[in-house]
Amino acid sequence: MIFVLALLVALTVWQYFLTARRQGRGRVFREIAAAVFAGGVSGILIGVAARLGMAAIGLANGAARFSFSGSIAVVISFAGFGVILGIIYAGLLRRLLRASGLAYGCLLVLSTWYPLAEAAVEELASKPATAGLVLISGVVVVGMWVPYAIVLERLICWRHGGMAMKEVPEAAV
């Protein structure tokens, strides 16, 4: 999974480099700053959903410990993932996915559902039924990525003055 992310980061850096050559570094820096902001703000949603998933694992194990400082640490950590994924989306995937936050969210769900469910199973004291595991992990993973990606797209769209991708001039993307 990390190799896919590394490839996407490399392709995103290359895309930003090409865009900087065409449109100037200032415009690219502003676009990256906007993607960092949008990714961080919407990344909070990833952190909240991840914390709820972690709490579900604790409840399933019968040891529901919940600390405010731990929750804040989880939300901040996952907001950092939101920043990275926001930069990748804005720089590389937004045009390919035709500015569809829902499509990006579905792509993230499909690429992370199994690894996250597998990690959750390793933390469980008892092995749940497969159907229950698929359902609960699916709800948590969809709850992490789809709202994140939709809010991310809305914030990026807002950055462009509320214009949808079809209305954004080539030079602004």
User: Which token pair is 101?
Assistant: 């936050």
Least confident of 47-61, 71-85, 138-152: 47-61
Collapse the DSSP code of 173 into the 3-class scheme (helix H, G, I; strand E, B; otherwise coil) and give the result.
coil
- Exposure class string for 64-87: b at 16+ Cβ within 10 A, else e: eeeeeeebeebbeebbebbbbbbb
Q: State the average pLDDT for the chain.
A: 89
Question: Which residue reads 């989880």 in tokens?
Answer: 74
Please give the average per-residue pLDDT across 72-88, as a whole number: 95
Full-model pTM: 0.86
User: Which token pair is 23?
Assistant: 């449109």
